[in-house]
Amino acid sequence: MNKPKVGVFGFTGCGGCQLEILNLEEQLLDLVNAVEIVHFTEAITEYSDNYEIALVEGSVTSKHDVERIEKIGNIAKIVVAIGSCAVSGGLNCLKNLYGLEKAKELVYGDKKEWIDSIEVKPIDEYVKVDYYARGCPPNRFEVVDIIKSLIIGKKPEIPNYPVCIECKRNGNTCVYELGMTCLGPISRAGCNSRCPNSATGCEACRGVIDEPNVNAQKDLLAEYGLTVEDIMEEFNLYNSCKGKTIEQRNK
């Protein structure tokens, strides 16, 4: 039986999502034995444009990125977005809040016209994404589960319930009671409530569930004398591609 050929690709991001794959430790050998990795510049020098499955990290922030992601989408039969930047635009989308020209001016000054920079977007703005491994970084074992499911022809099981459920399972004290804020009521689980486990509020790095209980979040904020605006900075940290620019917010 031929192993499925896999390519791992990095766009604008920190590279940490690819590193999570390399950090699989004993499971890394199982992964290598199950698939043929033909393109993974963070791990191997060889590369090929012959692959069925593409794992893509990072957001699209340049015209060159657009050309690359469209090429990958045309080659791969299955595209998996890994990490917040690929899934939702992630931290890079903070640039959009300022507006492209203002952001370029702030960073590059009078050299801004030299820079091939466009508004930040997640990869599914340019290619069809079949599955998402969310998070910053993603759960490395979720990445493996997705690949395993694809190999055996099974649809991967991706959580679509809020982080609060995982918090309750883990017996955590609600961080609101500790004087912090949290986006757990509307954020997609799958991280085993990683941040609240350490008494830190969830910042929705895995995005928002499909049908978020917005009223539950508002009620919780009201209970602690807070408003939606009080947590917008936290929400925008990973999800500002869906937000407004600073100019729009100030109008």
Q: Which domains does the chain have, with CATH numbers?
A: 5-152 (3.40.50.700), 163-250 (no CATH)
pTM: 0.89
pLDDT in tens, 20-35: 998 887 788 788 888 9
HEC assignment per residue over the chain: CCCCEEEEEECECCCHHHHHHHCCCHHHHHHHHHCEEEEECCCCCCCCCCCCEEEEECEECCHHHHHHHHHHHHHCCEEEEECHHHHHCHHHHHHHHHCHHHHHHHHHHHHHHHCCCCCCECHHHCCCCCEEECECCECHHHHHHHHHHHHHCCCCCCCCCEHHHHHHHCCCCCHHHHCCCCCCCCEECCCCCHHHHCCCCCCCCCCECCCCCHHHHHHHHHHCCCCHHHHHHHHHHHHHHHCCCHHHHHC
pLDDT in tens, 96-128: 988 888 888 888 898 888 888 999 999 999 999
- Rounded to an integer, the average pLDDT of 6-30 is 90
